[in-house]
Amino acid sequence: MKNKIVENIKTIVYALIIALIIRSFLFQPFYIPSSSMEPNLLIGDRLFVSKYSYGYSRHSLPFSPKIYNKRIFAKTPKRGDVVVFKTPVDNRTDYIKRLIGIPGDTIQIIDKILYLNDVQIKRKEIENSTNVNCGAEVVNTNFFEETLPSKKKYIAAYRNDGTMSNTDKFIVPENHYFFMGDNRDCSKDSRYLTSVGYVNFNNLVGKAQLIFFSNDIKKGSFLKFWKWHQSLRFERFFKKIL
C-alpha cells in the first residue's frame, strides 16, 4: 500500500514537471478576455502561444522570477506578429496585441490611416458599417485589410466616429517594440505611454499561433453543456492566427 502511494506521488510529480517544461519552453495556453483584437480574436477564444519564437527571458517562466535580465536564444520578432507580452507598468499583466513597430520605426495615425516611417501602409476597405464589441458597448466600424512592409496582412477595425483618428508620432526606442490592437479604437496599447507604452524585448512572452477552442460566453458558459450548440464556435477550433 505504501509503495503504491509513493508511486502515485512520483507520477503526479513527473506530470507536473513535464507540464512545467511544456508551459515554460514550448507552448502555453491563453484566454482572450477583451475585444481589443476584434475581429481577428474574439472574447472567449483560447489559444496556444509558442514560447520559443523569440527566445527565453524570465517572463517565460511562471511568476517571472528575477533570475536573469536578458534573453537566451533570442530571435527577432517581425512586424505583424500577434504577441503576448508583460505590460511594462507592472511586469506581471499579460497583454496580447499586434506588433506594428520595431526599434527605430516611427508610427502615427492620421485621419484614421496608419503611417509607418512616414509612409502610409497599404490598405483596402473590405467591409463598412460593421458592429464590433468595445467592452460592454457595441460600436460601428469599418474593416480594412492592412499590409505591413513585411507583407503581413490582417484585418483592422476603425470606429466610424473616429475616437483615435489622429495620434502623436511615436518613435520606437532601441530594444523596444510598439504594439496595437486590431480593434483600433478599443485597445489600450503602446499608444498609451503611461499605461503600456513601448515594450522591452525582454517582456515578450511568445507568439500567438493557434486558436484551439472558442466559446461565446454571451450565449452560455462551457459548463452549460445543453447550450453548446449555441455557444461553441466550432468554426474557430484549430484556426491559425494571422
Looking at residue 192, which CATH number applies to its domain?
2.10.109.10
pLDDT in tens, 166-180: 889 999 999 999 999
Specify the pLDDT at position 199: 97
pLDDT in tens, 176-212: 999 999 999 999 999 999 889 999 999 999 999 999 9
Is a pLDDT exceeding 80 seen at residue 8? no
Specify the pLDDT at position 2: 63
Specify the pLDDT at position 13: 76
- What's the Cα-to-Cα distance from 225 to each of 45, 136, 230, rounded to whole Å? 17, 25, 10
Is a pLDDT exceeding 90 seen at residue 225? no
The CB density around residue 66, as the number of other CB atoms within 10 Å, is: 8
When divided into structural domains, the chain yields a total of 1
Residue 14 lies in a domain: no
Residue 164 lies in a domain: yes
Report the C-alpha gap between 87 and 90 in whole angstroms. Answer: 6
Domain span at residue 127?
30-240
Return the bridge partners of 30, or none.
Answer: 47
Specify the pLDDT at position 112: 87
Residue 36 lies in a domain: yes
Strands (E), the chain: 27-31, 45-50, 82-86, 94-101, 106-110, 113-116, 119-120, 122-134, 137-147, 153-159, 170-171, 176-180, 199-200, 204-214, 239-240
Is a pLDDT exceeding 90 seen at residue 152? yes
The single residue of 34, 36, 187, 214 carrying the catalytic annotation is 36
Q: In the predicted model, what is the mean pLDDT of residues 121-132? A: 88
Specify the pLDDT at position 37: 97
Residue 13 lies in a domain: no
Report the C-alpha gap between 172 and 151 in whole angstroms. Answer: 20
Is a pLDDT exceeding 80 seen at residue 222? no
Does residue 36 have an active-site annotation? yes
Mean residue pLDDT across the chain: 89
Q: Which three cell numbers stand for residue 148?
A: 505591413
Is a pLDDT exceeding 80 seen at residue 23? no
At 148, is the pLDDT very low, low, confident or very high (cuts 50, 70, 90)?
very high
pLDDT in tens, 74-116: 899 999 999 999 999 999 999 999 999 999 999 999 988 999 9
Residue 3 lies in a domain: no
The single residue of 97, 187, 190, 231 carrying the catalytic annotation is 97
Residue 20 lies in a domain: no
Does residue 97 have an active-site annotation? yes
Determine what percent of the chain is predicted with pLDDT higher than 90.
Answer: 62
Report the C-alpha gap between 169 and 171 in whole angstroms. Answer: 7
pLDDT in tens, 28-70: 999 999 999 999 999 999 999 999 999 999 988 888 888 878 8
Residue 108 lies in a domain: yes
Residue 18 lies in a domain: no
Report the C-alpha gap between 39 and 43 in whole angstroms. Answer: 10
Report the C-alpha gap between 33 and 235 in whole angstroms. Answer: 19
